[in-house]
Structure 1
Amino acid sequence: MDFNQCIRFLESEGVRCTTQRKAILQYILKNRNHPTAMEIYKDLVNRRLSNSLANVYANLDLLEKVELIRAIRYQKVPAKYEMATEAPHCHIVCDKCGGIKDLHYLSHSETLRKAVLNDTGFRLVDLSYELRGICQGCHEAHTL
């Protein structure tokens, strides 16, 4: 989903497209590195689009509630955000720096959905693994 599609979606949901909401969406669309609320806030402050971290959190909560973005929450790592319109996938988290990488090969395959439904009667709506490790950068810094 591109920026204009996101705006049309918000309007169809009856959500006002404020300057700050647009800026947050643009930031998440542009920065596919799973930014935190603080990273988004710092960018908005630098561009003079916000002076309140609380407002950034409120907007992130609203965008998550209408299922336009997804919060990624793992132990010991501040919530990070990505577009909910991406194909469902899992993540691996670095135990040292908290960095997150996408794992698209661990996803909600149709085979898995059918197996879960047949075995349990549950309709799979989300899949979450907490895969943890040490990223290459932290590993290299530790071995120097």
Structure 2
Amino acid sequence: MPAFQSKTFRRTTSASSTLGEKLGALYRARLPRHPFLFFGLPFITVIVAASFALTPAAALRYERYDRKVQQMSKEEAFKLGLKGPDGEEGIKRNPRRRVIGDEREEYYRLMAKDLDDWEQKRVKRFEGEPDGRI
């Protein structure tokens, strides 16, 4: 008698086999013949379905963030100079320089500047902040 049997071991099917085991065996038997149908298509379907399922969750996240950023009490708005105590507009801040004319005039004004004659200046650092000098 040889050390190993020549027959391959196969599990005997019994009445006690569950439906899951039967489906698993059927799936494993058909997977090598049709790999895209039994593996690729379900995979792509799950990815696309998850994308549609997670879209509302992502929208809720951004809406919640927007609500958090937009909420401001009247006192905070007054302190920042956005609105007065009665709700009217607060301090109007003037911009540094207004653009006068149209875009072409502004373009030619900027082009007339001498960009070759400039001097590099270091920015003053805060106390204890490294300035990058060795």
TM-score of the two chains, using structure 1 as the length reference = 0.15
Higher RCO, Cα 8 Å, sep 6+: 1
Which of these two proteins has the greater Rg computed from alpha carbons?
Answer: 2
TM-score of the two chains, using structure 2 as the length reference = 0.16
Flag the structure with higher strand content. Answer: 1
